[in-house]
Amino acid sequence: MGGKKAVAVPKYQKKFKIKKDDIVMVIAGKEKGKTGKVLRVIKKKDRVIVEKLNMVKRHLRPGPYSQEGGILEREAPIHISNVMLVCPKCSKPTRVGYKFLDDQSKVRYCKKCGEVIDG
């Protein structure tokens, strides 16, 4: 019979090693090999929006208040598995790990060169 379906609740909190304002390289898809800055992380959909990459055209209807119509070009989300963080020191795309410093603060580090990324 008709009724509402139960919504699955995740058993764990998703952890993203990529954050806003990071420099990332696209490793798959039509923009492969290009780098850009992360503008936004969409955790619910596992996606990131990267500046000037994956541009799409959207048709906009004129609105009643001072909004004019036309064709807008803006960034579309890219799945987080298709981007890799670029290390600021070695300038290569790298995997990211976490470690604790002497003052017990948790920081991200580059797994290629061992340099602390933020902290």
pLDDT digits (tens, 9 = 90+) for 17-63: 999 999 999 999 999 999 999 999 999 999 999 999 999 999 988 98
Of 119, 41, 31, the C-alpha closest to 80 is 41
What lies within 8 Å, CB to CB, of 1 at 6+ separation is: none
Q: Sorting pLDDT into bands at 50, 70 and 90, what band is 66?
A: confident
- pTM score, two decimals? 0.83
Residue 2: what pLDDT? 63
- 8-12 mean pLDDT: 70
Residue 119: what pLDDT? 56
